Every structure is written in C-alpha cells, then in structure tokens.
C-alpha cells in the first residue's frame, strides 16, 4: 500500500483496521455510540481510493439527515481532497431524486416533477378525502396521510392495499391512497416516501437501468443502517444487485454501519431487523464489532450505558474508554421551564471562564416547542444561539407561498401549489371560483392549471365577468413569469413573481407589523436563492426547488458558525458530537414523551433516544428537568424522568435535586431519589400548592377575575409578550382563547391560568 494508504490506517485500533481494510464480501460494522463507525466508513472510502481499488465516481455513501451527509462529505473531503466531489455522498432522499431526475422517462414522470413535503402531502390528502365525501371527524386526513406513508415505506401499492383491506375503514384508506396517488401523478409530483418507493420500483422493473447504476456504483456504503425502513432496505439491495445474479456485473461492495441501540425512527417504519439480520440477508457477510469509545469520558458513558441497559432483549455490549472519568454529570431540578432555561444560560456563562465557547455547547430537547423558553433567555442575556430545525423557516406562510409560486412556474400542473396561490394575494378568486375550476379539472381529468387555461379560453361556462378578469390576470402572470424564467436565475424569478403577482406590494401596503417581518423573511429567501446560485452556477429553478424541498425540517442551517449555542431535538442530534451537552426536559411526560409512557415498545424507543442524547457529549453532560412545565398555557407538574433513576448515583452531581416547589409537597413524593419513576401524576389541586410556594408564575384565577376577551383585543402575556386574540371559546372557568403572538405563534390559552392582561 502507498504511504497515503498507510497514513489512513495509522491510529486505528485493530477492529477498525480490520473494517477499513476488509474486501471481498459485504461488511457490517456494529458498535455503540462514539466508537468510530462513521470514521471507519469515511476511512474505508479513502482507503479504497488510496489503494486503487475504487475510483471516486464509483462510490455512493448514504445517510439520513442533510446535516449528517454534509458532515460525512466534509470528513471524506479532508481525507481525499477535491475528488470527493465526484462521489455521491447524500441522504437517501437526495440520492433518489438524482436518480429519478435522470431516469424520468422510465419512471415515468416529467423531469421537472415537484417534491411535496409533509404539509403539501397532507393538504393533498385533505382534498382527496373531501372528494371522497369523507367526514373529517370520522376519517382524519392526517391519519390517512400517515397510513399512506406507512404503505409506501413498506412498498405496498394502492392495489396491494385494496387487496389487503378487511374492515370498511381499511377499504376507505386504500381508496384514498389510490386517489391520492392519482392526484400526485396528475400534478407531476411525488411525496417524500415516493422518492424511495418509486426509485425501488424503477430499479426493480427496469433491469437495464439497475445495471447502469450497478456498473457505476461499485461501492455502496450506508451509515446509521439501524434506521432504514423496508423501502430503504430494498433500495440498498437493488443498488448492490443482491437479487440479480445473471447481470454480468457482480454485486457491488456493500458496507453498512449502525447501532441497534440508536434506532429512533420506528415511527417512520425503520426496523432494527435490518441490522440484526444482515448476516442472514447477505450470507457471506463479515461482521466487525467495535468496543472502544473515543468520544466521551467514563462518567458520561456510565450514565448512558445505565440508561440503555434497562431495555429488554438487546444484545448487551460494553463500551469502554481510556479517556478517564472526567467531570461528573451535572443534574439540576428546576421549578419551571423558565427556571431551567435560566440555569442553563448561567451555566454556559460561567463555563466561559473555563474557555468553553458557545459553539462547543448543544442543548437537546424532546420536542421543538421546548426551544421557546430557552430562546427567550438567550435573547435576553445576549447569548448567541441558533435553533436547528425549530426555526421552521420553510414552514412560514410567506415562504411556502413564495415557493408555491415558484413551483407553479416550474410545473404548470402542480395543482397543490397553484391552488395555494390561487387567491393569494386576494384577487377576487374565492372558494366558489376555485370549486368551479376544480370541478372542471376533475370532470375532464386535467390538472387544475390546465383547467384555468381552459377557463381563460372560455371553456368553463357560468363564471362571472369579474371572476373571468381575475382568472385572465392570474393566468397571464404565471405565463409571463414562465417566459421570463427560461433564462433567469432562481433569485430573479423569485423577485419577478413576487412583484408581478402583487404579493410583496400587498404585504408592504398592510399596516399589520407582522407583514413587515414577512417581507424580511422573503428577503431571506431571496438570499437563499442567490447563495444557491453561487454554489451551483448552472443550477436552474428546478434544481433550486429540489434543494429547498430536501432541506428536511431537521437541518436547514449550514454548520459554519462555531460561535453559537446549538439548540436541537434529539432526533436531529444523531451522529453528532459536542464538548458540552445539556439534555433538558428530563421529565416523565416530556422525555419519555407522554404518549409513549404506556407502550413498552415506544418506551424502549424513547430510551434509545435518551441514549443518543447522552452519548453526544464529549466532556460535560448536564441533565436538567422542570418540576412544572406549561403546555397550551396550562402548567403541568411532571415527575423526574424515569431515565434519571437508572443512572448510578456516583456519576451524578446534583446541583439541585428537588425543585423549590416540590419541597412544599409531602416529602415522600419527590425528595428521595427512590421515588423517581414512581408514576406520580399531577393533580389539579397541586397547581395551587405550587402557586402558594411562589415558585411559578402560573396562577389559577378566580372565576370573577378571568379577563373577558373577544376576537381582535390586544393582550399582554407574561412570557409570550404582546398578542392579538383570534377567538374565544367557552365561558368563565372554561374560557379558552386563541392568541396570535406574532411570527406564526398562535397559542391556545386557558384563561383561568394564563398570565394574561387585557390592554
């Protein structure tokens, strides 16, 4: 081997060495967190290149999130240099989009097909259910959407689903599935699950296409293999050519790495089976087990091992480290989520004296909504932070509107997008006009966009002259921008369409302060488009939309600023590492999540999620909880997470083991560690006790002091600030108000609890 190759092996332990140099049969690397699985994968690629066994363009490496893919690409590039650009290092979804765009003729679909995200898909499903005259109360479109997603993850076609359906309910779902897919097809669109399923079908049904890719990709590598679902599993098999032995092309070399203790996507159909039965699926497979952890100190590892070892039926593995005990894990029981946020902020502040920079710190939470209390304190104290995923930039109304315009430009048959902007901004095309056009489209089996063109040609009778004018103008707008788009950049097209449609002008003319920030957000989108053009000079509108569509909610922000605290959900954190980690919200009902507590298999998944959280930490780990946390404006008392109880006492230093408010309750309930996980449930009367303790702001008002509110009234909330009441339901003690606090934050508040003042 060359000097290059030798250098790649230096510093690897014997098992890692074996995994990096193995050739001749499929390779499985299984190991706990931080043992160098991703390192082995990247070094294996570099080693194959250095020894001349592979060319860069023969490599496809796949992982789950854009963030993980970017990180992997970076690691590979630092090992092999610019030739890394010729490899496919991407997520499952982007790899599939690339294949589908090239092979669109055999799919078949238009090369400019749209990709619908979850919200778009749910919208389309809602329309489908409406067409089926299903009562949304009895047949929830979101549930239908999830079930269809499950079907696709299992590669079950609408025909299969119909054949399997036994109950009426299942039959309805199967029918909705078929109609929903027809609607997608007609809109020349795919949802996220289609990207995988259609690629698998493409490769299975077109052996010559499959062979093209097999000839090209001689090295297939998959990180986080424990999170693959059935469709992804079949995709890997098809790429490798495991089921095709008379191809004249031998199967590609397959490497998968994973850890069944970190499987956290069962809700998307992931199955640990794929890793556990790898040796059965690939009979000549070679397995390497890694045991040394290089990431964390012993105290952190002991805490993580203790949490995961409570899961039944797992293969026990012992991770060890030679990096020493390190600092103890620090625990803190806060009174409320605000108190918890204060503790975290002050702790980060004092860590600065030990040369810990904000960029070294990550804070994890179970659900996105938990970021709010943290954000408030960081804004107030001026600590720099970023929220990964939770910003939901791409879910803001104005961004979705603008993207709908762009998609309508790129794909005239994209019905969901065109219907979204049909009367946005208001142009006199109300529900009735939409229904008339939609009915015509349905009757003539054409897309909504095509029906608009027909209307403009005078083919749809019964439209009022005013409606006709509006339709003509809308149609002309889209056509003009389409023409302009043929040789304009995505940013220019965006400007043109926002301008020509009157979208920005309407926002500017509004005196709602929110609309001002909407304009700013659109400017931000313009910046995204301009930046896209810099990184991809010949990228067209279709490429831009594809990039945007694939920025899954988890990872919209590039990882270039080392100077900010990172806030993210545990799901997003998988595969990453940070010197300092705060795992917040360690309460029963928060983490584990309330809906998982009564289900053994869901609880096991929550435990794996906790294992993922704890094992991200390199040097310092904090576990924090709040005794009272608000949801929907209602304070809830939550007992300590049962995961805390598993952690050996000697590795944790409790700064505060019992929250102030809890001390007022009978001591047997919470003052002893033994009571952790005792199943203590909040009772309404306890809220008053908390109030007496003065620990939290949440107070229960007497009936006569409940503010009387109505839609349109401005209010001031102690933590959310200024807001406008949208609607009030119920009376007196039962009154609930929906309040818009700006930026899309609409809260439902129980007036008897909410610290709300009428202005």
Where does residue 288 rank: exposed (0-12), middle (13-18), buried (19+ CB within 10 A)? buried
List, in order, residues 6 or more apart from 543 with CB less than 8 Å away.
532, 536
Q: How far apart are CA 583 and CA 616, in angstroms?
A: 10
Nearest C-alpha neighbor of 425 from the set 404, 409, 440: 404
Q: Do the strands 59-63 and 88-91 form a parallel or antiparallel pair, or are they unpaired?
A: parallel
Of 104, 139, 294, 654, the one binding ligand ATP by CB under 6 A:
294
* DSSP 3-state of 724: strand
Nearest C-alpha neighbor of 40 from the set 9, 69, 70: 9
Per the annotation, the verdict on 223 as an active-site residue is: yes
Residue numbers belonging to the annotated binding site for ATP: 31-38
Least separation in angstroms between CB 547 and ligand ATP: 25
390 is an interface residue for Mg ion by CB under 5 A: no
* 348: its two tokens: 């980060």
Where does residue 508 rank: exposed (0-12), middle (13-18), buried (19+ CB within 10 A)? exposed
Picked from Mg ion, ligand ATP, none, the partner binding residue 637 (CB below 5 to 8 A depending on kind) is none
Residue numbers belonging to the annotated binding site: 31-38
Closer residue to ligand ATP in complex, CB, 297/424: 297
38 is an interface residue for Mg ion by CB under 5 A: yes
Closer residue to ligand ATP in complex, CB, 54/576: 576
* DSSP 3-state of 276: helix
Q: Catalytic residue among 616, 620, 642, 752, which?
A: 616
Compute φ and ψ for 64, nearest 5 degrees.
-100, -40
16 is an interface residue for Mg ion by CB under 5 A: no
Of 32, 575, 589, 592, the one binding Mg ion by CB under 5 A:
575
List, in order, residues 6 or more apart from 641 with CB less than 8 Å away.
586, 587, 588, 590, 591, 592, 610, 625, 676, 677
Of 39, 420, 608, 752, the one binding ligand ATP by CB under 6 A:
39
Q: How many helices (H) and strands (E) does the chain have?
A: 31, 21
Least separation in angstroms between CB 522 and ligand ATP: 37
Closer residue to Mg ion in complex, CB, 293/436: 293
Picked from ligand ATP, Mg ion, none, the partner binding residue 384 (CB below 5 to 8 A depending on kind) is none
Closer residue to Mg ion in complex, CB, 144/364: 364
Per the annotation, the verdict on 152 as an active-site residue is: no
63 is an interface residue for ligand ATP by CB under 6 A: no
Q: Which stretch binds ligand ATP (CB under 6 A): 32-40, 508-516, 547-555, 649-657?
A: 32-40
* DSSP 3-state of 52: coil
List, in order, residues 6 or more apart from 75 with CB less than 8 Å away.
38, 39, 42
295 is an interface residue for ligand ATP by CB under 6 A: yes
Per the annotation, the verdict on 224 as an active-site residue is: yes
Q: How far apart are CA 108 and CA 240, in angstroms?
A: 23
Compute φ and ψ for 617, nearest 5 degrees.
-85, 135
35 is an interface residue for ligand ATP by CB under 6 A: yes
Find the DSSP H helices in 265-413: 273-276, 278-281, 298-309, 337-351, 371-381, 397-410
Q: Catalytic residue among 37, 152, 317, 407, which?
A: 37
326 is an interface residue for ligand ATP by CB under 6 A: no
Per the annotation, the verdict on 37 as an active-site residue is: yes
Q: At what angle do helices 141-153 and 118-131 cross, to 10 degrees?
A: 120
Of 15, 26, 38, 403, the one binding ligand ATP by CB under 6 A:
38
Window 316-375: residues binding Mg ion (CB under 5 A): none
Closer residue to ligand ATP in complex, CB, 73/147: 73
Give rounded-to-5 percent helix, strand, coil for the chain.
50, 15, 30
Window 608-667: residues binding ligand ATP (CB under 6 A): 615
255 is an interface residue for ligand ATP by CB under 6 A: no
Window 474-503: residues binding ligand ATP (CB under 6 A): none
572 is an interface residue for Mg ion by CB under 5 A: no
Least separation in angstroms between CB 98 and ligand ATP: 25
Q: Catalytic residue among 103, 191, 193, 223, which?
A: 223
Nearest C-alpha neighbor of 653 from the set 309, 296, 327: 327
Per the annotation, the verdict on 172 as an active-site residue is: no
How many chain residues bind Mg ion (CB under 5 A)? 3
Q: Catalytic residue among 42, 199, 255, 262, which?
A: 262
Per the annotation, the verdict on 38 as an active-site residue is: yes
Window 2-21: residues binding ligand ATP (CB under 6 A): 11-13, 16
269 is an interface residue for ligand ATP by CB under 6 A: no
Picked from ligand ATP, Mg ion, none, the partner binding residue 11 (CB below 5 to 8 A depending on kind) is ligand ATP
Distances (CA, A) of 529 to 392, 537, 541, 547: 17, 11, 9, 10
33 is an interface residue for ligand ATP by CB under 6 A: yes
36 is an interface residue for ligand ATP by CB under 6 A: yes
Site residues for Mg ion per CB under 5 A: 37-38, 575
Q: Which residues are catalytic?
A: 37-38, 223-224, 262, 616
Site residues for ligand ATP per CB under 6 A: 11-13, 16, 31, 33-39, 259, 262, 294-295, 575, 577, 615
């Amino acid at each position: 081997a060359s000097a290059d190759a030798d250098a790649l092996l230096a510093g690897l332990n014997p098992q890692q060495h074996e995994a990096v140099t193995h050739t001749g049969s499929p390779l499985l690397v299984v190991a706990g967190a931080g043992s160098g699985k991703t390192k082995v994968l990247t070094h294996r690629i570099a080693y194959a290149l250095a020894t001349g066994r592979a060319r860069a363009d023969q490599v496809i490496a796949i992982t789950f999130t854009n963030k993980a893919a970017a990180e992997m690409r970076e690691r590979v590039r630092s090992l092999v240099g610019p030739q890394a650009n010729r490899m496919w290092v991407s997520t499952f979804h982007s790899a599939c989009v690339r294949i589908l765009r090239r092979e669109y003729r055999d799919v078949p679909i238009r090369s400019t097909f749209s990709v619908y995200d979850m919200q778009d898909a749910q919208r389309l499903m809602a329309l489908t259910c409406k067409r089926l005259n299903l009562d949304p109360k009895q047949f929830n479109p979101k549930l239908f959407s999830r079930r269809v997603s499950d079907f696709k993850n299992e590669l079950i076609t609408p025909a299969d689903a119909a054949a399997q359906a036994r109950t009426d309910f299942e039959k309805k779902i199967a029918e909705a599935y078929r109609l929903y897919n027809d609607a997608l097809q007609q809109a020349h669109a795919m949802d996220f699950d289609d990207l995988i399923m259609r690629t698998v079908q493409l490769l299975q049904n077109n052996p010559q296409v499959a062979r093209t890719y097999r000839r090209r990709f001689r090295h297939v590598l998959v990180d986080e293999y424990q999170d693959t679902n059935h469709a992804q599993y079949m995709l890997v098999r098809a790429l490798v050519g495991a089921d095709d032995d008379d191809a004249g092309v031998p199967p590609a070399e397959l490497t998968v790495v994973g850890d069944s203790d970190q499987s956290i996507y069962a809700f998307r159909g992931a199955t640990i089976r794929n890793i556990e039965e790898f040796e059965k699926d690939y009979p000549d497979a070679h397995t390497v087990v890694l045991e040394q952890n290089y990431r964390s100190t012993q105290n952190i590892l002991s805490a993580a091992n203790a949490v995961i070892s409570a899961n039944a039926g797992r293969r026990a593995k012992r991770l060890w480290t030679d990096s020493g005990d390190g600092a103890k894990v620090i625990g803190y029981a806060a009174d409320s989520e605000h108190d918890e946020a204060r503790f975290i902020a002050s702790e980060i502040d004092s860590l600065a004296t030990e040369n810990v920079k904000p960029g070294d710190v990550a804070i994890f939470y179970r659900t996105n909504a938990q970021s709010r209390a943290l954000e408030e304190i960081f804004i107030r104290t001026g600590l720099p932070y970023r929220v990964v995923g939770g910003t939901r930039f791409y879910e803001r109304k104005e961004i979705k509107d603008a993207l709908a315009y762009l998609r309508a430009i790129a794909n005239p048959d994209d019905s969901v997008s065109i219907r979204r902007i049909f009367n946005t901004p208001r142009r006199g095309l109300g529900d009735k006009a939409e229904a008339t056009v939609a009915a015509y489209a349905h009757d003539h089996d054409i897309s909504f966009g095509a029906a608009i063109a027909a209307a403009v040609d005078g083919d749809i009778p019964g439209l009022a002259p005013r409606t006709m004018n509006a339709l003509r103008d809308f149609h002309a707008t889209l056509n003009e921008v389409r023409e302009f788009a043929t040789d304009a950049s995505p940013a220019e097209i965006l400007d043109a369409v926002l301008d020509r449609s009157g979208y920005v002008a309407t926002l500017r003319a509004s005196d709602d302060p929110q609309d001002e920030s909407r304009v700013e957000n659109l400017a931000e989108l313009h910046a995204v488009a301009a930046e896209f053009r810099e990184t991809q000079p010949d990228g067209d509108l279709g490429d831009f939309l594809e990039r945007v569509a694939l920025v899954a909610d988890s990872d919209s922000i590039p990882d270039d600023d080392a100077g900010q605290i990172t806030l993210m959900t545990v799901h997003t954190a998988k595969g990453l590492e940070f010197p300092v980690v705060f795992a917040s919200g360690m309460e029963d009902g928060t983490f584990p999540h309330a809906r998982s507590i009564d289900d053994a298999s869901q609880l096991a998944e929550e435990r794996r999620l906790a294992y993922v959280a704890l094992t991200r930490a390199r040097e310092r780990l904090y576990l924090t909880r709040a005794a009272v946390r608000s949801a929907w404006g209602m304070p809830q008392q939550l007992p300590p997470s049962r995961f805390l109880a598993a952690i050996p006492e000697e590795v944790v230093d409790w700064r505060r083991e019992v929250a102030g408010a809890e001390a007022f309750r009978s001591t047997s309930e919470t003052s002893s560690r033994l009571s952790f996980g005792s199943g203590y449930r909040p009772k309404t009367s306890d809220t008053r006790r908390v109030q007496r303790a003065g620990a939290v702001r949440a107070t229960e008002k007497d009936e006569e002091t409940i503010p009387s509110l109505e839609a349109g009234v401005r209010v001031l909330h102690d933590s959310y600030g200024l807001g406008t009441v949208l609607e009030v339901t119920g009376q007196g003690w039962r009154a609930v108000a929906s309040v818009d606090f700006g930026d899309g934050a609409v809260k439902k508040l129980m007036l008897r609890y909410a610290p709300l003042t009428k202005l």
